[in-house]
Copies of this chain bind each other. A is one copy, B any other.
Amino acid sequence: MMENHIFKALADPTRRTIFEKLASADGMNASALRDGMTISQPAMSQHLAVLRDAKLVQEERQGRFVQYRINPEGLDMIVQWVARYSIFWPERVNALRQTLKEMDQ
């Protein structure tokens, strides 16, 4: 909800890594998220709390595990913010045409 919370949550590289990992899977629990990363259990838990407070991820308890997944709408506010300041600039139009062209292929 609060724009600032989302920006702050994304400002930490470890949290972005967690977010990216979640995005590449279809939901993971905190332990699964940890492996491959050098991060303690409390640190992971605290990072997930920040992401959850920013509504960037959702949690769902499943037995003694907690399944985390991306909140599809979580980035909406950032998308809108970034779009305001990156897309609608005349000097960028040609670059954008090229980008869209590449997306078509």
Please give the residue numbers on chain A whose beta carbons come within 8 Å of chain B beta carbons, in ascending order.
Answer: 4, 7-8, 10-11, 13, 16, 19-20, 23, 70, 72-73, 75-76, 78-80, 82-89, 91-93, 96-97, 99-100, 103
Contacts and interface: CB of A to CB of B under 8 A. Distances in A.
A82 B88 CA distance: 12
Contact of A82 (B70, B72, B79, B84): B79
Nearest to A81: B16
B73 A78 contact: no
- Number of copies of this chain in the oligomer? 2
Q: Is the contact region of chain A dominated by helix, strand, or loop, or is it mixed?
A: helix
15 contacts: A4-B13, A7-B7, A8-B11, A10-B11, A19-B85, A20-B85, A23-B85, A70-B85, A72-B87, A73-B88, A75-B82, A75-B85, A79-B86, A87-B96, A96-B96
